[in-house]
């Protein structure tokens, strides 16, 4: 069964550095998402992406964050000037279709980001 893959599984970065989290969505999916889960807290929406642009973003997704689909397969989340509070599990998800069609998101296994 096709799956969403995320790399790396664990990323350790010094505070203030930039980090890029990578995701390969399911190949025929058109909608892409990033979520994060701080330890012990709920899964929080960051951003959705369709047709090479952001569809929606949350308050968390400020100028520190950006997303990109640099080629036909990868979907990346860049976090600039990382802070201690950015430490979390970051999940990528993809979905076959979007508006008006009820379909589930499929998640990768996440990248654990640790900011030191």
Partner 1 sequence: DQQVKQNSPSLSVQEGRISILNCDYTNSMFDYFLWYKKYPAEGPTFLISISSIKDKNEDGRFTVFLNKSAKHLSLHIVPSQPGDSAVYFCAASSNTGNQFYFGTGTSLTVIP
In the complex, which residues of this chain contact partner 1 (CB under 8 A)? 4, 6, 31, 33, 35, 41-45, 48, 50, 55-56, 58, 91, 93, 95, 97-110
List, in sequence order, every residue forming a beta bridge with 79; answer none if it has no partner: 19, 65
- Residues in the chain, overall count: 116
Residues ≥6 apart with Cβ < 8 Å to 3: 26, 106, 108
Residue with tokens 């550095």: 17
Q: Give 66 or 107: the residue with its C-beta nearer to partner 1.
A: 107
Q: Give 69 or 98: the residue with its C-beta nearer to partner 1.
A: 98
Q: Give 14 or 102: the residue with its C-beta nearer to partner 1.
A: 102
């Amino acid at each position: 069964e096709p799956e969403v893959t995320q790399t790396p599984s664990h990323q350790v970065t010094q505070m203030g550095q930039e980090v890029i989290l990578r995701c390969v969505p399911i190949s025929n999916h058109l909608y892409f998402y990033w979520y994060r889960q701080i330890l012990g807290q709920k899964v929080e929406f960051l951003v959705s992406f369709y047709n090479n642009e952001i569809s929606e973003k949350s308050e968390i997704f400020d100028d520190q964050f950006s997303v990109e689909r640099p080629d036909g397969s990868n979907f990346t989340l860049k976090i600039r000037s990382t802070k201690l509070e950015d430490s979390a599990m970051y999940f990528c998800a993809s979905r076959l279709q979007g508006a008006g069609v009820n379909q589930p998101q499929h998640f990768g296994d996440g990248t654990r980001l640790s900011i030191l």
